[in-house]
């Protein structure tokens, strides 16, 4: 968060200048020098977190039924780790026979779910930015600070299979927006909006090449 230090002091510096408080100004500029030095020294070495979308389905969840959240986890967290942790947590609460983890990222058809069970769907997501945002979010810090939109992709084919040949492969990209931005005081934030776009095979191929 060293980059945010400058924004805070932009507010304080005019106050200290108006008061002719040179001791405070000297202290502020010393702090800024320290912060900017840290930014330079840690360039390319910092880690900010890994994000997962978690959906809850089933009457056992009460008010959480049908709700989605984005969870922020430590950087090296893998999908099986958070899946195992949440499954254990809710198994202790509801009983292991009543908890099931949905292992794909497809839209959940609640009519096909067992009414007595609690279902958890966990999907790895990445921060999402429009092209105009990327022109301003240049650094690694910029792309991990004040973020509230995330994206995940679901591969599919016209005949219902998840994967097919190059000319058959479609991709559904789901973009979710959270109520607040990360970093946040909590490690999970509720999803309040979602949009979807479908990429045709040629678009899927172009995107794969660009990556």
Q: How far is CA 38 from the centre of its chain?
A: 25
**123-148 pLDDT, tens per residue?**
999 999 998 998 989 888 888 899 99
Please count the structural domains in the chain.
Answer: 2
Please indicate, yes or no, whether residues 90 and 22 belong to a single structural domain of this protein.
no
Say yes or no to pLDDT of 98 above 70: yes
Share of the chain above pLDDT 90, in %: 68
Cβ atoms of 173 and 151 closer than 8 Å: yes
Say yes or no to pLDDT of 44 above 70: no
Q: Give residue 211's pLDDT.
A: 74
Q: CA-to-CA distance for 182 and 145, rounded, in angstroms?
A: 6
**14-32 pLDDT, tens per residue?**
999 999 998 999 999 998 8
Please indicate, yes or no, whether residues 53 and 23 belong to a single structural domain of this protein.
no
Q: Give residue 9's pLDDT.
A: 87
Q: State the residue range of the domain holding 132.
A: 47-146+175-193
Determine, yes or no, domain membership for 206. Answer: no
Q: Give residue 126's pLDDT.
A: 96
Say yes or no to pLDDT of 41 above 90: no
Distances (CA, A) of 169 to 21, 37, 50, 103: 65, 47, 27, 20
Determine, yes or no, domain membership for 207. Answer: no
Please indicate, yes or no, whether residues 52 and 126 belong to a single structural domain of this protein.
yes
Contacts of 184 by beta carbon, 8 Å cutoff, 6+ apart = 72
Please indicate, yes or no, whether residues 86 and 60 belong to a single structural domain of this protein.
yes
Average pLDDT of the chain is: 92
Residue 1: band (very low, low, confident or very high) from pLDDT cuts 50, 70, 90? low
Q: Give residue 87's pLDDT.
A: 97
Q: Is 71 helix (H, G, I), strand (E, B) or coil?
A: strand
Q: Give residue 60's pLDDT.
A: 96
pTM of the entire predicted model:
0.81
Q: CA-to-CA distance for 188 and 200, rounded, in angstroms?
A: 33
Q: Give residue 5's pLDDT.
A: 84
C-alpha closest to that of 49 among 126, 101, 160: 126
């Amino acid at each position: 968060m060293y980059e945010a230090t400058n924004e805070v002091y932009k507010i304080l510096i005019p106050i200290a200048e108006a008061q002719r408080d040179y001791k405070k100004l000297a202290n502020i500029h010393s702090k800024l020098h320290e912060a900017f030095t840290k930014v330079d020294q840690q360039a390319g070495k910092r880690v900010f977190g890994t994000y997962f979308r978690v959906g809850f389905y089933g009457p056992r969840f009460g008010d959480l039924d049908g709700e989605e959240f984005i969870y922020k986890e430590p950087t090296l967290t893998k999908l099986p780790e958070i899946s195992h942790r949440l499954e254990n947590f809710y198994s202790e609460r509801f009983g292991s026979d009543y908890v099931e983890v949905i292992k794909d990222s497809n839209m959940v058809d609640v009519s096909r779910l067992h009414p007595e069970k609690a279902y958890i769907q966990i999907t790895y997501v990445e921060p999402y930015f429009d092209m105009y945002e990327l022109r301003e979010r240049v650094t690694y810090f910029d792309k991990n600070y004040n973020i509230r939109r995330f994206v995940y992709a679901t591969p599919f084919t016209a005949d219902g299979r998840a994967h097919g040949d190059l000319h058959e492969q479609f991709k559904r990209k789901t973009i979710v927006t959270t109520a607040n931005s990360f970093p946040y005081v909590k490690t999970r934030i509720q999803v309040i909006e979602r949009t979807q776009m479908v990429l045709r095979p040629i678009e899927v191929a172009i995107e794969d090449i660009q990556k």
